[in-house]
């Protein structure tokens, strides 16, 4: 609980400074691929993660970012990667062996879906059960004697479904399996998966942590004993290392994360309430709305802020959907999420992903990443786009 206090102070001051020579108050960018090795006979661990040898083993800007993420989340250790997908691989590669079984959220990021549906089973003989992890009983029923990992995405991308992390952690631990949670949709401030019992917490830092839409990145947080394996295998030997420049950019973004999440959450709630009462709207899911199927669970697990992700659909045919997208002025039609500006993507009916989502989603829907704009301006933009597509 301690890390929840003074979270904005921790975002500003948390983590060790590493510029011991000049004492710069802003961390310099250490653009170096290699470091001087001691010549005094000290043994060198060429594939090690505990000294600076080569930037793929460890590098300064990466360490600064890891320290700040630990300070903010209370995690014992952290590894950062070149993308969210590299961070996910950083968990799946070390902790799954051929013949092991994994239970995975059926609503999950497309690369996670493809890894578990195709590559891990076909190339590495990992057995997989996809389940609706918002249904705790379904998770329990899917566990087998060889289950080694339960991987949950919460809030789920794109549905915002909320899984019960504490209950699923109990199920995983009773089965001697690990629980990993991809909490990208909430960022590491609205929810604290490790505190709820998860062993590993994963984020695409491309999204809220960086927040400015100018760098990819990913992180894994958890106990040192697990993170050493993540670093040794996935970082040093699979090599998805984060560059010093991107680490520096993301560190800068992280400083304002708590502040941004407050605004994202407040604006998204106002926008979701507007959508909920609009006759143009077929359905809306936002964890902060009482009508969300797992609102009570979200209220218990989240910190009163529900992040900026909304999924919804409008009444009307394909043409109306296209007209609506065309008419939006402030909101940009683009992938990714968690940026300062509002982004929307449309999953049309023909998308093959839709079969994995709850029935209400299967006619098509929008995933809406609410930015930092003023709520009234976003509501005005949506309202005029509804009118332009003759929905109101
Ligand atoms: C974007 C995303 C990822 C992948 O992250 P990249 O940085 O694009 O590699 C993983 N999980 C979730 C939930 C995401 O939204």
Q: What is the CATH number of the domain that holds 352?
A: 3.90.1150.10
Residue 310 sits in the same domain as residue 172: no
Residue 128 lies in a domain: yes
Residue 306 lies in a domain: yes
Q: How far apart are the first and last CA of the chain?
A: 47
Residue 243 sits in the same domain as residue 268: no
Which regions of the chain are under pLDDT 50? Answer: 1
- Provide the domain limits for residue 172: 7-254
Give the residue whose CA is nearest to atom 11 of ligand 1. Answer: 109
State if residue 182 touches ligand 1 by the CB under 6 angstroms criterion.
yes
Virtual CA dihedral for 168, 175, 121, 151, nearest 10 degrees? Answer: 20
Virtual CA dihedral for 272, 273, 279, 285, nearest 10 degrees? Answer: 40
Catalytic-labelled residue, pool 10, 58, 148, 207: 207
Residue 157 sits in the same domain as residue 25: yes
Residue 246 sits in the same domain as residue 286: no
Residue 60 lies in a domain: yes
Whether 207 is catalytic is yes
Q: How many domains does the chain have?
A: 2
Determine contact, residues 128/114, Cβ cutoff 8 Å: no
Determine contact, residues 237/98, Cβ cutoff 8 Å: no
Residue 2 lies in a domain: no
Residue 325 sits in the same domain as residue 287: yes
Antiparallel, parallel or unpaired: β 127-131 and 101-105: parallel
Substitution site in 82, 84, 107, 335 for ligand 1 pocket (most atoms within 8 Å of beta carbon): 84
Beta carbons within 8 Å of 243's beta carbon, 6+ residues apart: 82
Residue 127 sits in the same domain as residue 21: yes
Determine contact, residues 238/79, Cβ cutoff 8 Å: no
Residue 15 sits in the same domain as residue 138: yes
The last residue of a domain, from among 254, 274, 305: 254
Q: What is the pLDDT of residue 3?
A: 56
Q: Which of 230, 220, 268, 245 is nearest to 367 (CA)?
A: 268
Residue identified by tokens 């998860």 is: 198
The last residue of a domain, from among 233, 254, 275: 254
Determine contact, residues 246/295, Cβ cutoff 8 Å: no
Could you tell me the CATH number of the domain that includes residue 204? Answer: 3.40.640.10
Residue 271 lies in a domain: yes
State if residue 109 touches ligand 1 by the CB under 6 angstroms criterion.
yes
Catalytic-labelled residue, pool 10, 56, 68, 297: 56
Residue 185 sits in the same domain as residue 299: no
Q: Which of 85, 87, 142 is nearest to 111 (CA)?
A: 85
Residue 80 sits in the same domain as residue 221: yes
Q: Please tell me the distance between residue 213's alpha carbon and the centre of ligand 1 in angstroms.
A: 13
Q: What is the pLDDT of residue 352?
A: 83
Whether 109 is catalytic is yes
The last residue of a domain, from among 232, 254, 276: 254
Substitution site in 80, 81, 83, 85 for ligand 1 pocket (most atoms within 8 Å of beta carbon): 85
Residue 114 sits in the same domain as residue 40: yes
State if residue 389 touches ligand 1 by the CB under 6 angstroms criterion.
no
Residue 212 sits in the same domain as residue 263: no
Residue 110 lies in a domain: yes
Q: Please tell me the distance between residue 152's alpha carbon and the centre of ligand 1 in angstroms.
A: 13
Given strand 365-369, what is the order of strands in its sheet?
281-285, 309-314, 365-369, 343-347, 332-333
Residue 165 sits in the same domain as residue 296: no
Residue 129 lies in a domain: yes
Whether 347 is catalytic is no
Whether 374 is catalytic is no
Residue 1 lies in a domain: no
Q: Please tell me the distance between residue 53's alpha carbon and the centre of ligand 1 in angstroms.
A: 30
Q: Please tell me the distance between residue 270's alpha carbon and the centre of ligand 1 in angstroms.
A: 26
């Amino acid at each position: 609980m301690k890390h929840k206090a003074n979270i904005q102070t921790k975002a500003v001051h948390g983590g060790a400074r590493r510029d011991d020579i000049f004492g710069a108050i802003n961390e310099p960018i250490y653009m170096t691929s290699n470091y001087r090795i001691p010549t005094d006979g000290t043994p060198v661990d060429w594939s090690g993660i505990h000294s600076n040898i080569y930037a793929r083993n460890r590098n300064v800007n990466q360490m600064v970012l890891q320290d700040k993420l630990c300070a903010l989340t209370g995690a014992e250790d952290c590894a950062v990667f070149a993308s969210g997908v590299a961070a996910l691989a950083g968990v799946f590669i070390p902790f799954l062996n051929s013949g092991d079984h994994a239970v995975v959220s059926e609503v999950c990021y497309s690369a996670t879906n493809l890894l578990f549906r195709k590559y891990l089973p076909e190339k590495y003989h990992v057995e997989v059960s996809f389940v609706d992890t918002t249904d705790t009983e379904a998770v329990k029923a899917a566990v087998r004697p060889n289950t080694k990992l339960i991987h949950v995405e919460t809030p789920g991308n794109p549905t915002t479904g909320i899984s019960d992390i504490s209950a699923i952690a109990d199920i995983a631990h009773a089965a001697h399996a690990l629980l990993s949670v991809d909490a990208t949709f909430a960022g590491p401030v609205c929810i604290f998966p490790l505190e709820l019992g998860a062993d590993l917490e994963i984020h695409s830092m491309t999204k809220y942590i960086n927040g400015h839409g100018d760098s990819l990145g990913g992180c894994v947080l958890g106990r040192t004993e697990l993170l050493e394996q993540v670093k040794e295998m996935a970082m040093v030997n699979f090599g998805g290392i984060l560059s010093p420049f991107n680490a520096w950019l993301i560190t800068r973004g992280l400083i304002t994360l708590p502040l941004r999440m407050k605004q994202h959450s407040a604006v998204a709630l106002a926008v979701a309430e507007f959508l909920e009462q609009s006759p143009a709207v077929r359905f809306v899911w936002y964890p902060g709305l009482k009508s969300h199927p797992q609102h009570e669970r979200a209220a218990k697990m989240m910190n009163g802020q529900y992040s900026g992700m909304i999924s919804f659909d409008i009444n009307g045919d394909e043409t109306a959907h296209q007209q609506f997208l065309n008419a939006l002025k402030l909101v940009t039609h683009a992938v990714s999420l968690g940026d300062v500006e509002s982004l929307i993507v449309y999953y049309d009916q023909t998308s093959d992903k839709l079969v994995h989502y709850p029935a209400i989603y299967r006619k098509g829907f929008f995933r809406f990443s609410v930015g930092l704009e003023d709520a009234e301006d976003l509501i005005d933009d949506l309202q005029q786009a509804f009118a332009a597509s003759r929905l109101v």
